[in-house]
Structure 1
Amino acid sequence: MNLRRRPVVPLLLLPALLAAPVLAQEKKPDPAKQLQQVEKDLKQADKTKADLDAKAEGLEKELADLRARAIDAAAQQRTQADELARLEGALGDLGEEEKARLDKIEADRAALADLLGALQRLSRLPPDTMIAAPQSPSDTVKSALLLRSAVPELKTRADALSRELQGLVDLRRQLAEQKDKAARAAESLTLRQKDLAGLVARREELSKSTDSERTRLATQVAALADRAGDLKDLIEKLEAERKAEAARKAEAERRRLAQVEAQREQRARDKVAGLKRAPAEPQSAGILGGMVAPVSGKITQRYGTVDAVGATSRGLTYSGRAGGPVVAPADGSVMFAGPFKGYGLLLILEHANGYHSLLSGLGRIDAQVGQRVLGGEPVGLLSGDGDPTLYYELRRGGQPVNPARGLAASDGKGQG
């Protein structure tokens, strides 16, 4: 009778097989040790965050200085743009005066030429001709008197023509000087635009460097906190303490961030207040209540007037210089920044007491949603082509109000 033989396990392998379950159990992770490691990582993250805050403190001081310098540079650029516009207008007036003088000189010159021609022809008449066609004595006397009076008149006209020509020389010299001033003003304006662009770029770089690092660190801390929470679910003894500590840290962080933001705004305000000359608002801006005109230029459409298509304007339309800076009319925060149908690039700022500013027609926006801005701080540029316009609308409680009334600190209702 043949029986199948069972495989025989060598005796040397039995200890290893018996120890295998034990080794598998030893490799199982220990939640308590993992929790200790996570808490260690959280402490390290807190230390890194403290170092980042110390570094950010220095950057915040530089950022406040940059914001103040940007406000001052924008104000100077607006002043130079107004001066350049004035010079260009003066050039136009001088050009028209030059044309009028040239026309008058040409007319005087033609009249003088006719008079000279008549005298020359009279002087070339021979005596024989006068004998052949004798005149009466009275006519001869009249002709002599006329000829005698024509000579002083001729000299008077010649002297007047000489004075007109000298005046034309002086006018052209003045015109050349004005053109030279306008060229220097345009060159200075270009340099101001470059300086302002550099300040705005540096401001954005500083803001993004600190904000991105804080965002990354906050994400890392949140992930560690979630992991710690999962582990502490296995250790109920520490659950209540973890939640209370997390809540305390969250509240402390919220208060710290609010304090940092308040200090950042106060630094910027102190810098602006410390400038030798604060940005002044043009008299033609038509905006009161401490507000700043959003762009340098003339107002082509005022609030409440009817335009060419019969629509009533609900804001102000400015005609600005190509590539000119656009600034915040008052302190506030950016609610919207980007393209919007029918408005082009649109920027919406939220102010105190229920006010909002709408700026449309920008060629470029240099502000981000959530960013705090001060009155007069650059937030964008006009289009660099042609004769750009900017539409500015001030709203309160969702209703358009007259920007000439400025910002009032009343109950927040709309006003006409």
Structure 2
Amino acid sequence: MRLGAFLIGLMMASGAVAQPSGDPASDALAAADRLARAGALLEATEGAGNRVKALSETIRAYEDGLQAMREGLRRAAIREQTLSRELDAREDEVARLLGVLMAMGESPAPVLMLHPAGPVGTARSGMIVADVAPALNARADTLRVKLEEVGMLRMLQQSAADKLHEGLEGVQEARTALSQAIADRTDLPRRFTEDSVKTALLLASTDTLEGFASGLSEIAENEAPGSLPGIEDRKGTLALPVDGRILRRPGEADAAGISRPGVVLVTRPRALVTTPTAATVRYRGPLLDYGNVMILEPQSGFLLVLAGLDVVYGETGQVLPGGSPVGLMGGADGTEDVVLNAADQESGARQTETLYMELRENNTPVDPLEWFRTDKDD
């Protein structure tokens, strides 16, 4: 497949997330279309020249489509439950109205017009019926529309849930393919070779991130001189490594009273984490109480620490292009919460996973928010 055609499909599937239209049905259908496009992209990655990049973008497209589908399902569930509660609350009124309409429909018109008081009473009753009938019909039409909408929303939720299941299977397939493509990749340059013995000694002898970071140069053998291009001119414009929002800013304490100089991002389960710029992998693996950690060097003197990943990609010493996948978040993105309760006011998939991000310059923490493009209102 030609690269140009793949990129066109990619832009169609993973463009800016569409804003909700206000109609749950339309939004769910649009989300289903995005998932279908993501599925087509997955098939197209077989012929892509840079398969790692193509699969990474396909996973992003799936993530966006799944987010939109969950949001559509959430809004459809809320609307359906709102209508159902309204109809339940008016159950007696609905029963009386249906009884009147059925009686009117079954009785001959002349019988309805007769009145024991004679012609005058009959005339008056006719005038009353003439006044009441349009109002009854209007109320009946309103109820009919709401009942039809409830039925449509229930059918929509089932159909959308099936599409969501398919999307989850597709994104899992893409993640598996990405892991294999990364393992098969042989074209990345390598700045140095890791000395595994020295790495083990460094891990055993340090009890702080600062101490570990200061000894990273000791684990490198045959390191190539020089540095990657600087990132100073991109200060304030770097993309966050994962699609999420800021949970804690530098220095803010967590529930245990622990504060760190980096930021904590909350994101969806199994979200893809990428490097915001070209960087050398200085370390990847478990570290202290940070979980799985990826330490990247975008230029000499700068270290980007990403902690809390479930899966890490790449090898120590490799030079990664900007936007390369470096890992996946943990958690399960199953379908147990496909149709959410109306009381659940969260938007889309629950953001339950946290990624810690720290930026160090000459082994001193600096404020990452000055370097990365973020929503300042988070």
Quickly say closer, same or farther: Cα 1:67–1:160, change in 2 above 3 A: closer
The match for 1:190 is: 172
The match for 2:353 is: 388
Q: 1:352-375: CA deviations, max 9, x gaps?
A: 152111111111223333222222
Shift of 1:172: 3.5
Q: 1:220-271: CA deviations, max 9, x gaps?
A: xxxxxxxxxxxxxxxxxxxxxxxxxxxxxxxxxx8xx959x99xx99xxxxx
Q: 1:150-208: CA deviations, max 9, x gaps?
A: 44433322222112222233334443453344334323212211220110121279999
Give yes or no for the alignment of 1:170 onto 2:170: no
CA RMSD, aligned part only?
4.4
The match for 1:357 is: 304
The match for 1:105 is: 87
Q: Does the residue aligned with 1:294 lie in a helix, a strand or coil? A: coil
The match for 1:318 is: 265
The match for 1:93 is: 75
Which of 70, 73, 76 does residue 52 from structure 2 map onto?
Answer: 70
Quickly say closer, same or farther: Cα 1:190–1:385, change in 2 above 3 A: closer
TM-score, length-normalised on structure 2?
Answer: 0.56
The match for 1:32 is: none
What is the distance in 2 between the residues matched to 1:107 and 1:166? 17
Give ranges in structure 2 of 5+ residues lacking alignment. 1-46, 108-114, 195-221, 334-351, 373-378
The match for 1:215 is: none
Shift of 1:117: 6.0
CA contact (8 A) 1:300 1:319 kept: yes
Structure 1 stretch displaced more, 290-299 or 112-121 = 112-121
Q: Does the residue aligned with 1:360 lie in a helix, a strand or coil? A: strand
What is the distance in 2 between the residues matched to 1:298 and 1:109? 44
The one-letter code of the counterpart of 1:358 is V
What is the distance in 2 between the residues matched to 1:143 and 1:66? 79
Give ranges in structure 1 of 5+ residues lacking alignment. 1-64, 124-129, 213-253, 267-286, 408-416
Q: Does the residue aligned with 2:310 lie in a helix, a strand or coil? A: strand
Q: 1:301-326: CA deviations, max 9, x gaps?
A: 34465655566553332333433332
Shift of 1:84: 0.7
The match for 2:285 is: 338
Shift of 1:351: 2.2
Shift of 1:396: 1.4
Equivalent runs, 1:13-28 vs 2, <5 Å: none
The one-letter code of the counterpart of 1:370 is G
Q: Does the residue aligned with 2:185 lie in a helix, a strand or coil? A: helix
Q: Does the residue aligned with 2:240 lie in a helix, a strand or coil? A: coil
Equivalent runs, 1:24-173 vs 2, <5 Å: 68-115=50-97, 149-173=131-155
Q: 1:330-383: CA deviations, max 9, x gaps?
A: 222222222222211222122215211111111122333322222222222222
What is the distance in 1 between the residues matched to 2:268 and 2:65? 12
Quickly say closer, same or farther: Cα 1:120–1:379, change in 2 above 3 A: closer
Shift of 1:120: 9.8
Please tell me whether Structure 1 or Structure 2 has the larger radius of gyration of its CA atoms.
1
The match for 1:403 is: 368
Q: 1:244-299: CA deviations, max 9, x gaps?
A: xxxxxxxxxx8xx959x99xx99xxxxxxxxxxxxxxxxxxxx9656343223343
What is the distance in 2 between the residues matched to 1:393 and 1:86? 30
The one-letter code of the counterpart of 1:188 is G
What is the distance in 1 between the residues matched to 2:99 and 2:73? 38
Q: Does the residue aligned with 2:57 lie in a helix, a strand or coil? A: helix
Q: Does the residue aligned with 1:352 lie in a helix, a strand or coil? A: coil
What is the distance in 2 between the residues matched to 1:372 and 1:205? 10
Quickly say closer, same or farther: Cα 1:367–1:142, change in 2 above 3 A: same
CA contact (8 A) 2:189 2:319 kept: no
Equivalent runs, 1:200-349 vs 2, <5 Å: 200-203=182-185, 291-303=238-250, 307-308=254-255, 314-349=261-296
What is the distance in 2 between the residues matched to 1:159 and 1:376? 55
Q: Does the residue aligned with 1:342 lie in a helix, a strand or coil? A: coil
What is the percent sequence identity of the aligned residues?
29
Q: Does the residue aligned with 1:394 lie in a helix, a strand or coil? A: strand
